Structure 1
């Protein structure tokens, strides 16, 4: 395996995830103009439990299968990895149906948890309806996810990448057409429109399943060839033994996948209740909650795509190095994974914080609440770095068989978030929920890094040293962006409309990116992290 395998896998999966997340962000522009803050709040309330039930329905098995397959394939035992896939696939069909039935049947009970009795506007029945509409996707997603995990175990990232993009294209296409038709053609309610919007998850899942089936038919012959040519005989392993090993991997994946949704669920339960009791206006609450739960959250998820792609690409690779006891390669891969995250996400979140009002205005337009939304987005943006590092460090812990600790650290973070959320909301207002997330997520990342260091005697020195250098370059970038933004204020401001904000972003982001890349390239930091020269920059910035 070449030393750049993580980079290649990360680039492929990150590109696919980025396209998916970018589409998932772009569609919120027309979606917000059609359904507004109320529709965004309703949509977010439905997606929260749905995301949790996806994790519960798959019980962490897709990524666990990825690790399982990578491990047994490295031992030359392709038959056992294929056998495990077939067994896991059956479980996924069952758990998908069970969780669909629970979510569909328990929609009213869930909705009553989110909507306080003294709430105005959104009713319990509205939330229950959209939850029922989204529950249908649970029938298809578990078996689809297990197939993605199987391909990833073979270090074949193409099926996951392509199916992910197709799923998002189909989902968003159906969503926008349905919402537009319900509201502008048939004159329906926002609740009905949001219901069809959530049902789009089912439509997208069908499209993804069709793509994966095509890949399966295409690659089945090669998989059979591996099995036929294997020399290792392990046919005596019982199904019980295989499941025991698989679930030892799978358990932590459930909780890791639930991390962000669980943080959001704490907000969903406490946010409105706390602010209503404080006498905050319902319009302010709706705008603030839809910001941190949907519209602003979609924006900060763009940087997190790098972490998602990195974690998916590194798990099989790190697992193989760990099983082979190749510590030098393992340490190199861990360093590369962590540094890639900080290299790209740190400047992104700092830039997003500085330009938060312009970003909000460019995507969602200028209205009476732009100051509130821009202010909250500026506070919320750094959360992306903590969530990204948590995702990757948890993946590393799983690869080195320390998956239980990932659960402990997440539990600590959730307890902190639960304890801090209400008092911080009372002290700081809507931004208090964001600050509570900051603190909780930072503690989990610090705990994960400590455990990685302690478990395999991994030195954090190179990571911390290079992160400090990235921080310095980010400061240079931030100063350049802030200065250019200040000069532009004499000509145009974020209050001048969406086009004005697009122009401001085009200029400031271009200059900021150039400054950061210039320092990163000429200091050789970029090529040290990437594992080689970056040919595109070689042509632009000749060193």
Structure 2
């Protein structure tokens, strides 16, 4: 952590460094959360898609309860701590954190109890889902405190504790999931539902380990924090009651906005089954298997790349809040430009790359399924809108424009809901994805238009860089797709081993093509900074 007398780091460098840490945590956590599915899905045998559907539906409800139980307070605390730190009032930020801890414990207990006892109602009539929801309720007790502690560190723009605890949390979770699934399904030859319950209980196991690591970091940094508090201005006097009121006022918009993607998923969860039955004759488990294709199978993979945007979003909130507190219009404008450029630079090639390798990557995780691969292909493109939504909402939160962000989100949700039935009628399984794209698309367009007219960021420069990134991403997409077509002249499309070979070769081609283009044109240097040239020299790479 940085004291007030140290040389300040530029906001652009802070964004890059913070995004790097949060990207590390998010990406490796998501990769772990995706890789485990390969053995886990195989051990479920014929119940694989149904087990995935149970997990997906339970996790959507769990995600909503988790956001409610934390009440948006971690994000609000990160924003407010950054606000007071920018004013050299570190003591107020520390008191804000301590006041929030008690609130988190109380909200965790209430939310976990409500989720546990309302599980039969929330299950939508599927009794198999009740014990799964109840096992997830245990995690709701722990995660609020862990999330608040992460928010405190993020308020100092110290992303390493959050990133590392996220990774440790996921690692412990995956170990528990695989261990219990193997014992129940392969050793005991037991019921797949018992394995699903234990796999969801793993969320609580992971949370314990993640929280313990955060406590370690807090103890390690406590002396630095106390010194910053001691050297504060001590000019702002805020009562504990006022701090709690401030937390609640700031947190309510975070609850709604952080639930944005979950709201879209819940619409699919509760409407897909009854609506598809109007147009298709199929049994219950068959429809659940279709839901699993986009509700969990594809979603789990695209969230790996959406987490890139989420990492940038988390980093941008405290930086924008600090600039907003200082009323530094130029810094705000620069932050918006940097965040959007970094998003495009990372998200476009990532999503197009996943679309290009949709078939082999789906085969590796779930076995060969042409329909599942096509769902993943479409989902990969839609992930651009999901990621953009996360970034735009974070920017508006950092600028205290929560009301407008909520308004735009509600418009998107209403459009999604209105299009759900006709989209399923015309496009069947793909309908919910297209309705989501329309809803997210209008929300993102409204937010972008508002920022352009209100903050006057350099739109011509952003457009030029967008065109360059999009062109290089399309070039990479074509090179990867062509490489896969050539490889599959000799490789089998249904073989997992051959799919691994295809992906390794395709990824090398994709990285080389996109990397060469952005480095040769110096687009990477313009977005990531001149330090990229130093890295290239150290690696003895000449473009």
CA–CA distance in structure 2, aligned partners of residues 226 and 512 of structure 1: 46
Partner secondary structure for residue 490 of structure 2: coil
Partner secondary structure for residue 381 of structure 1: helix
Matching residue of 1:413: 412
CA–CA distance in structure 2, aligned partners of residues 493 and 437 of structure 1: 34
Deviation of the 1:540 alpha carbon: 5.8
Q: Do structure 1's residue 5 and structure 2's residue 6 form an aligned pair?
A: no
Partner secondary structure for residue 125 of structure 1: coil
1:276-323: CA deviations, max 9, x gaps? 232343455233211212121111011112111111111111211222
Residues paired across the two proteins, number? 528
1:201-258: CA deviations, max 9, x gaps? 11111111111111122222222222222232323x2334333433332222112221
Matching residue of 2:352: 350
Q: Given the superposition, is the C-alpha separation of residues 248 and 457 from structure 1 closer, same or farther in structure 2, using an over 3 Å criterion? A: farther
Alpha-carbon contact 1:518-1:541 (below 8 Å) kept: no
Matching residue of 1:262: 263
Gapped regions of structure 2 (runs ≥ 5): 1-8
CA–CA distance in structure 2, aligned partners of residues 520 and 12 of structure 1: 22
Matching residue of 2:150: 148
Q: Do structure 1's residue 519 and structure 2's residue 517 form an aligned pair?
A: yes
CA–CA distance in structure 1, aligned partners of residues 507 and 441 of structure 2: 27
1:172-216: CA deviations, max 9, x gaps? 101111111122222321111101111111111111111111112
* Between 50-59 and 482-491, the greater mean CA deviation after superposition: 482-491
Alpha-carbon contact 1:287-1:373 (below 8 Å) kept: no
Matching residue of 1:388: 387
CA–CA distance in structure 2, aligned partners of residues 356 and 505 of structure 1: 10
Matching residue of 2:77: 65
CA–CA distance in structure 2, aligned partners of residues 537 and 429 of structure 1: 48
Superposed, which structure 2 residues align to 1:71-90 within 5 Å? 71-90=83-102
Alpha-carbon contact 1:288-1:372 (below 8 Å) kept: no
TM-score, with structure 1 as normaliser:
0.94
1:102 to 92, 102, 114: 114
2:37 to 28, 50, 53: 28
2:28 to 5, 8, 19: 19
Partner secondary structure for residue 492 of structure 1: coil
Deviation of the 1:156 alpha carbon: 1.4
CA–CA distance in structure 1, aligned partners of residues 79 and 175 of structure 2: 34
Matching residue of 1:441: 440
Q: Do structure 1's residue 531 and structure 2's residue 529 form an aligned pair?
A: yes
Partner secondary structure for residue 135 of structure 1: helix
Q: Do structure 1's residue 279 and structure 2's residue 270 form an aligned pair?
A: no
Deviation of the 1:11 alpha carbon: 0.2
CA–CA distance in structure 1, aligned partners of residues 345 and 275 of structure 2: 38
Deviation of the 1:537 alpha carbon: 4.0
1:40 to 52, 58, 76: 52
Deviation of the 1:536 alpha carbon: 4.0
Alpha-carbon contact 1:66-1:153 (below 8 Å) kept: yes
Alpha-carbon contact 1:28-1:295 (below 8 Å) kept: no
* Between 135-144 and 480-489, the greater mean CA deviation after superposition: 480-489
Deviation of the 1:39 alpha carbon: 0.5
CA–CA distance in structure 2, aligned partners of residues 348 and 313 of structure 1: 19
Deviation of the 1:377 alpha carbon: 0.8
1:25-48: CA deviations, max 9, x gaps? 111111211221010011111111
Q: Do structure 1's residue 501 and structure 2's residue 513 form an aligned pair?
A: no
Alpha-carbon contact 2:14-2:157 (below 8 Å) kept: no
Deviation of the 1:458 alpha carbon: 2.8
* Between 514-523 and 347-356, the greater mean CA deviation after superposition: 347-356
Partner secondary structure for residue 401 of structure 1: coil
Partner secondary structure for residue 40 of structure 1: helix
Matching residue of 2:233: 231
Matching residue of 1:542: 542
Matching residue of 1:288: 290
The RMSD of aligned alpha carbons is: 1.6
Deviation of the 1:50 alpha carbon: 0.5
Partner secondary structure for residue 127 of structure 2: helix
CA–CA distance in structure 1, aligned partners of residues 514 and 66 of structure 2: 38
TM-score, with structure 2 as normaliser:
0.94
Gapped regions of structure 1 (runs ≥ 5): 116-123
1:46-104: CA deviations, max 9, x gaps? 11111000000111110110010011011111111111111111111000000011000
Deviation of the 1:486 alpha carbon: 2.4
CA–CA distance in structure 2, aligned partners of residues 530 and 195 of structure 1: 44
CA–CA distance in structure 1, aligned partners of residues 464 and 244 of structure 2: 42
Alpha-carbon contact 1:336-1:530 (below 8 Å) kept: no
Deviation of the 1:453 alpha carbon: 2.0
Alpha-carbon contact 2:385-2:441 (below 8 Å) kept: yes
Superposed, which structure 2 residues align to 1:58-457 within 5 Å? 58-112=70-124, 115=125, 124-235=126-237, 237-282=238-283, 284-366=286-368, 370-457=369-456
